[in-house]
Amino acid sequence: MEASAEPLTLALEELDLATALRVREVLVRSPVGSVVELDLTAARRCEDAAVMVVADAAIRCPTVHVALRGLAPRQLRLLQHLGFRVAGGEVGARAAEASIGFDVGRPT
Q: What is the pLDDT of residues 67-104, one digit of tens each?
A: 888 888 888 788 778 776 665 444 544 333 334 554 43
Q: How confident is the model at residue 54 (pLDDT cuts 50, 70, 90)?
A: very high
Q: How many Cα atoms within 13 Å fall on the side-chain side of residue 11?
A: 2
As a dihedral over the C-alpha atoms of residue 39, residue 19, residue 53, residue 13, rounded to 10 degrees, the angle is 30
Residue 10 φ then ψ, to 5°: -110, 105
Which amino acid makes up residue 39? D
pLDDT at 93: 41
Would you give the distance in Å from CA 86 to the centre of its chain?
13
Q: For the whole model, what pTM was predicted?
A: 0.75
pLDDT at 107 over 60: no
